[in-house]
Structure 1
Amino acid sequence: MDNTTYIALSRITALTHDLEVTTNNLANANTTGFKSSRELFSDYIVKQKDIHGLPGGQTEAYTQDRATYQNHEQGPLRQTGNLTDFAINGEGFFAVQTTQGVRLTRNGQFQRRSDGTIVDINGNPVLDRFQRPIVIPREDDVLSVASDGTISTQDGAIGTFDLMTVDNLNTLQPEGSYLLKPTTRTRVLPHKEIRQGMLESSNVNAITETTRMVEIQRDYDLNFQLVQTESTRRSNAIEKITQDPSSS
């Protein structure tokens, strides 16, 4: 293959990954607390030598898929009326204990187990600032959470929902549709605003993602067509040479 084909193939490879990310965004447009992702591309510049092997030739740009990053912009808050639904207004994350370790999440769709432990949709206990599960006494049938995270029952305040964060949100690694793995040290937010009876919707804009998907597909088709055209041109050239008696 010549350089033109290699350049087109590098673009096709990057577009394929970009399409996977965009498709995943659309699939989670209705997932509570989901954060959209985007691909980060760059051009890898190669400077070619001239015909005599000296500097000063043309440059070629190969597409490189550098990274996938998340958009941590807050999604719209919606009212549910469920006393164990919680939305974060502003920055921060709930901490939950999974079998793989502590994970962060913006999905506050919690439940109360029969033993009083507050868990997420997959049964992972929600943690306080000391990484202890938040437990509501079984005999308490009233649950109220203030905007500062203070948890109260009919017997008064019994604990606090604490929000965690990290210094660089780009270091968080997505796991599934709603969990984030911290790869650096977490810290407790001194100020927080929690809304009881509400959930944060996905921050995916379905129209934007659909438009993006169409653009990716068009770019993919153009580059794939270029590869096919180059392949046909080379095949025709080889066939002509092998069939031309004067070439021997």
Structure 2
Amino acid sequence: MDNTTNIALSRIDVLTRALEVTSNNLANTNTDGFKASHSQFSEFLVKQKGGNTVPGGREESYTEDRSVYQDHMQGPMHQTGNLTDFAINGEGYFSVRTSQGVRLTRNGQFQRRADGTLTDSAGNPVLDTNSRNIVLRQQDEILSVASDGTISTQEGRVANIGLVTVDNLYTLQPEGNYLLRPTTQTRNVANKEIRQGMLESSNVNAVSEMTHMITIQRDYDLNFQLVQTESTRQTNAIDKITAEPNV
């Protein structure tokens, strides 16, 4: 396999990853609390064998898949009217207790189990400011949540929804479509703003992602054609050499 093919294949490998990321973004355009991901790649140069070591020497340009990062920009809010739907305006994440440990989320589509435990859509208990499960009494009918997360019923204040964050949002590791695993120490958000009866929509820009997907697909096709053309050229050259009579 020659250098031209290797260079094209390095580009195809990166584009394949970028296509997967973009496709996942588009698939979650309507997933509440979803944060779009973006692939990051860069060029790296490799000196050709026998190439000049001085500046301006012969070098080959390859493409390297560097990382995939999340866009934590807040998505638009939409009203639902459900008493157990909550949206965060500004910084912070809800904490939920999963079988794998505490996870963070911006998806505030919660529900109340038969035993009164407030959970997310997957049944993971929502945590308060002291990292305890929020449990409401079965007889509590009136439920209101202030902007600071204070939950009140007809009996008065019963709990306070916790909001946490981390110093570097890019250290959060996505799990599934709406959960994030903190890899560094979390801290409570000082100024909380929670809105009841609303949800935060996905921050995916469908038009932008679709345009990006078309660009990736065109680039992929061009590089794939280059690989095929180079393969055909090499095959023809080999056939020509083997067909020549021995002198």
Normalising by structure 1, we get a TM-score of: 0.96
The corresponding residue for 1:150 is 150
Alignment check: 8 A CA contact 1:48 1:55 kept: no
Matched with 1:26 is 26
Matched, 1:81 2:81: yes
SS of residue matched to 1:45: strand
Written as runs of structure 1 = structure 2, the 5 A alignment for 1:222-237 is: 222-237=222-237
Would you say the 8 A contact 1:21–1:37 is kept in 2?
A: yes
Which residue of structure 2 aligns with residue 67 of structure 1?
67
Residue of structure 2 in register with 1:126 after alignment: 126
Q: Give CA deviations for 1:25-56 in whole Å, capped at 9, x if unaligned.
A: 00000000000000010112112244xx6524
1:98 aligns with 2:98: yes
For 1:55, the aligned partner's letter is T
Q: Is the 8 A contact 2:172 2:181 kept in 1?
A: yes
* Contact 1:75–1:200 (8 Å) recurs in 2: yes
Q: 1:152, CA displacement in angstroms?
A: 0.7
Q: Does 1:113 align with 2:130?
A: no
Q: Counterparts of 1:9 and 1:83 in 2: how far apart (Å)?
A: 52
Q: Which letter maps to 2:53?
A: P
- Moved segments of 4+, more than 4 Å: none
Amino acid corresponding to residue 97 of structure 1 in structure 2: R
How many residue pairs match? The answer is 245
Identical residues among aligned pairs (%): 69
1:48 matched to 2:54? The reply is: no
Task: State the shift of 1:111 in Å.
Answer: 0.2
Structure 2 unaligned spans of 5+: none
**Equivalent in the alignment of 1:238:** 238
Contact 1:49/1:55 (8 A) holds in 2: no
- Structure 1 vs Structure 2 CA RMSD: 1.1
1:109 partner amino acid: Q
Distance in 1 between the 2:66 and 2:74 partners? 25
Q: Hey, what does 1:39 align to over in structure 2?
A: 39
Aligned to 1:11: 11
What is the rounded CA distance, in whole Å, between the counterparts of 1:214 and 1:231 in structure 2? Answer: 26
Task: After TM superposition, list the pairs within 5 Å mapping 1:155-166 onto structure 2.
Answer: 155-166=155-166
Provide Cα deviations, 1:221-248, integer angstroms capped at 9, x if missing partner.
00000000100111111111111226x5
Q: Which amino acid aligns with 2:182?
A: P
Distance verdict in 2 for CA 1:3–1:193, change over 3 Å: same
Q: Is the 8 A contact 1:106 1:200 kept in 2?
A: yes
**Paired letter, 1:237:** A
Length-normalised TM-score, structure 2: 0.96
Q: CA deviation at 1:139?
A: 1.7
